[in-house]
Structure 1
Amino acid sequence: MNDFAIFMDWAEFAVRWLHVVTAIAWIGSSFYFIALDLGLRKDVPLPPGASGEQWQVHGGGFYHIQKYMVAPDQMPDDLIWFKWESYSTWLSGFALLALVYYLGADLYLVDPNVLDIPVWQAVAISVASLGLGWLMYDAICKSRFGNDNTRLMLGLYVILVAMAWGYTQVFSGRAALLHLGAFTATIMTANVFAVIMPNQRIVVADLIAGRVPDAKYGKIAKQRSTHNNYLTLPVVFLMLSNHYPLAFASEMNWLIASLVFLMGVTIRHWFNTHHARKGNPHWTWAATAILFVVIMWLSSAPMFRPDAEEAALPRGAERFAAAAGFDEVTDIVLGRCSMCHAAEPGWDGIHYAPRGVHLETGRQIALLAREIYLQAGVTHAMPPANVSFIEPAERAKIVAWYRAGASG
């Protein structure tokens, strides 16, 4: 295959697929064990050391599950560890971050209207923020401040709000919300890798050596697992946000993200309370609905300014602006695409440009050359159902122009 753009698009698709599959496995097992732990029966006869049990039915079979506080008396021969779901989710997510936002930094990561910095600086800030975020969070958890779980959760929320605002001061709106999700997901996976798993290994080693494991290791792991439980739903929202300009392209995007974390708490509180058989706090759904209505209202705030025409084109985009056929392609895009992909769309029923993509100027068209080529040249994905009647000859001109620029 000699078309690098097609190869990269399939690479992104493959990694995104892997990321979604591993995330389903991680989130599914996490939610399952939280529900299991909260729903254990403690008012029944139990073996020595057991703290609860539960009978479950699934797939035509019955399962009898018992939980041991700290650990059983003897180490089982076939102990199953739940860790690779988390590790694979983070690794595939970081790979996708690199493919989309680092390799496509000029388009997706850096916005000169927010902060005009070189790509290498933006990538360095991205990587450093993920690592430093974990170190800061871990230090707070281990400090005296972290001894009170409620206080710790409030402190964590303040950090997340600060990061939400901070990312919007550095990256494009799309990248800012995505990075907030990556920042949070890094904390969650590092909790598994650096705290939960090491503590479990200490307990296993004590059992093998015939020692009684210290209960503090289970307590610490439980604290981090609880944090992961409440952070999961906001992370999923933030990962999906890059498809919805109303979330990422509003000037209130950092506040929208901050409220999403509160929705994660209210939703999980209902499920956790329900699974623990402590009632059904329906007020949480009313609170969630109110928060979502506020988010919808905030999304109607002014969208970010379009790219400044006087800003210099990145080196890669310059080739497409100078490639043969650029003027013709510009006319095609303006005639077939810009009625929707505009700051003020002219198509009935469309109030904001799909995915925040604007195609009203030559500069914007040159910047989005690869996307135009894949969406309207190689494939017929755009316009949807070919509503603007783009001709096969016009698609051929888009393909010829892109390939001329890519080889230039």
Structure 2
Amino acid sequence: MYDLAALGAWIEFAVRWLHVITAIAWIGSSFYFIALDLGLHRDRNLASGADGEEWQVHGGGFYHIQKYLVAPTHMPDGLIWHKWQSYWTWISGFLLLVLVYYLGAEFYLIDPNVMDLAVWQAVAISLASLAFGWAVYHLLCKLFVDADQTVLMVALFGLLVAMAWFYTQVFTGRAALLHLGAFTATIMSGNVFFVIIPNQKIVVADLMAGRTPDAIYGKIAKQRSTHNNYLTLPVIFLMLSNHYPLSFASDWNWVIASLVFLMGVTIRHWFNTHHARKGNPHWTWVATVLIFIAIVWLSVAPPASQQEARAVSRFAQAQGFEKVHNIVQGRCSMCHASEPFWDGVHWAPKGVVLETEADLTRHARAVYLQSGISHAMPPANLSYMEDGERAAIVAWYRAATAP
């Protein structure tokens, strides 16, 4: 009997190979057509009625390319549709998600220290998040179709940052970045399947029926195609990230992922500007290098837990700590306790407990703001905190936070 484990490994390899092949085909055609569109000469009065043209040379031959803004006057024979590259990239990518992360959820998807999920719960969150991403993105595009597209891009970036943070709060670091890539790729493939191709089919149907196609369909398709162009490079990074622990096994992995999207924008902006013959904005390469340096630094930056531990130690060692602890014990802990003994208070306000020295160091900033530089606490000064005690809190906090 053939080794099932080996068979499974080869199936995964075959699907991964298919994914890489189709992704290369999709990305290549996407980059080519964006460069072609930006580089068209639109200042020529073409007898064909085309919007622009370009001459190119490749493989020993010359190509004369023309683009019609809406459509030609009649339907040409042998029309080629660029869609299956996108469809199979997503299909093969989803199959990989199933094979690696769903079937291997206990190893690659779920981290009980992050969120203790059952396999079915983790898979459900994964699937729901992909559907959610497309729905929200599609809604944003419809709302901003006639608005400044920069506003839409900023809104999309905000969505991606939020999802980067969300995934790191639910899955392993490896799965979080991979899912952010799948989230973005779903948006890109959704653009092709739900918008670009259907719009082009409407144009073709109008032509065959002898009607003049509405230019809005081309405008919308161009919007989505441009988004795909700017999202491609970040998706590649995120799909490769699982091979590089410095990118995903960091407390700052969601920030790293967010910065990667900015790098994708700066890199594509240079190429798009260059192809449009509008100059060579070299500042984009400087910006890209600076963002990458920030990513490298974040990958080895101390985890937030270590930084918090250092801060706690600093507050505990600062001059005046013991005095402030006694003040808090006498003026605050009757309410801010695991079992408050002030009449009418049944639990610590806002969940802040100030019973131990560790509690005080953990909530040092809140104590400083609420009882040091302001008189917000104790409420109505019911426990009679004196001005000298407030001054002691201020002096202690500032000593701990001084450079």
What TM-score comes out, normalization by structure 2 length?
A: 0.74
- 2:243 corresponds in structure 1 to 243
Equivalent pair of 1:130/1:183 in contact (CA under 8 Å)? yes
Q: Which moved more, 1:138-147 or 1:155-164?
A: 138-147
- 1:64 corresponds in structure 2 to 64
In the TM superposition, what are the counterparts of 1:163-174 in structure 2 within 5 Å? 163-174=163-174
Q: Percent identity?
A: 74
- 2:290 corresponds in structure 1 to 290
Structure 1: give runs of 5+ residues left out of the alignment.
306-408
CA shift for structure 1 position 148:
2.6
Indicate the RMSD between aligned Cα atoms, in angstroms. Answer: 1.4
AA aligned opposite 1:281: P
- 2:256 corresponds in structure 1 to 256
AA aligned opposite 2:217: Y
Q: Distance in 2 between matches of 1:250 and 1:70?
A: 48
1:192 aligns with 2:192: yes
Structure 1 pair 254–261 and aligned structure 2 pair: CA distance change class (3 A): same
Structure 1 pair 185–146 and aligned structure 2 pair: CA distance change class (3 A): farther
Equivalent pair of 1:41/1:52 in contact (CA under 8 Å)? yes
- 2:24 corresponds in structure 1 to 24
CA shift for structure 1 position 78:
1.1
Q: CA offsets per residue over residues 40-67 of structure 1, 9 Å max, x none?
A: 1123341242011111111111111000
AA aligned opposite 1:117: L
- 2:183 corresponds in structure 1 to 183
AA aligned opposite 1:22: T
Equivalent pair of 2:145/2:220 in contact (CA under 8 Å)? no
What number of residue pairs does the alignment pair up? 305
- 1:121 corresponds in structure 2 to 121
Structure 1 pair 209–33 and aligned structure 2 pair: CA distance change class (3 A): same
- 2:153 corresponds in structure 1 to 153
Q: Distance in 2 between matches of 1:285 and 1:131?
A: 34
- 1:78 corresponds in structure 2 to 78
Q: Distance in 1 between matches of 2:201 and 2:302?
A: 52
- SS of the equivalent of 2:70 reads coil
Question: Runs of at least 4 residues of structure 1 off by over 6 A?
Answer: none
Structure 2: give runs of 5+ residues left out of the alignment.
306-403
- 2:268 corresponds in structure 1 to 268
- 1:312 corresponds in structure 2 to none
- SS of the equivalent of 1:65 reads strand
Q: CA offsets per residue over residues 301-321 of structure 1, 9 Å max, x none?
A: 24699xxxxxxxxxxxxxxxx
Equivalent pair of 1:53/1:65 in contact (CA under 8 Å)? yes
- 1:34 corresponds in structure 2 to 34
AA aligned opposite 1:119: V
Structure 1 pair 43–148 and aligned structure 2 pair: CA distance change class (3 A): closer
AA aligned opposite 1:68: Y
CA shift for structure 1 position 147:
2.8
Bigger Rg, which one = 2
Q: Which moved more, 1:285-294 or 1:56-65?
A: 56-65
Structure 1 pair 275–29 and aligned structure 2 pair: CA distance change class (3 A): same
- 2:139 corresponds in structure 1 to 139
Q: Distance in 1 between matches of 2:144 and 2:166?
A: 26
- SS of the equivalent of 1:38 reads helix
Equivalent pair of 2:86/2:189 in contact (CA under 8 Å)? yes
AA aligned opposite 1:206: D
Structure 1 pair 162–146 and aligned structure 2 pair: CA distance change class (3 A): farther
Structure 1 pair 290–130 and aligned structure 2 pair: CA distance change class (3 A): same
- 1:397 corresponds in structure 2 to none
Q: Distance in 2 between matches of 1:139 and 1:74?
A: 34
Q: CA offsets per residue over residues 321-375 of structure 1, 9 Å max, x none?
A: xxxxxxxxxxxxxxxxxxxxxxxxxxxxxxxxxxxxxxxxxxxxxxxxxxxxxxx
AA aligned opposite 1:99: L
- 2:230 corresponds in structure 1 to 230
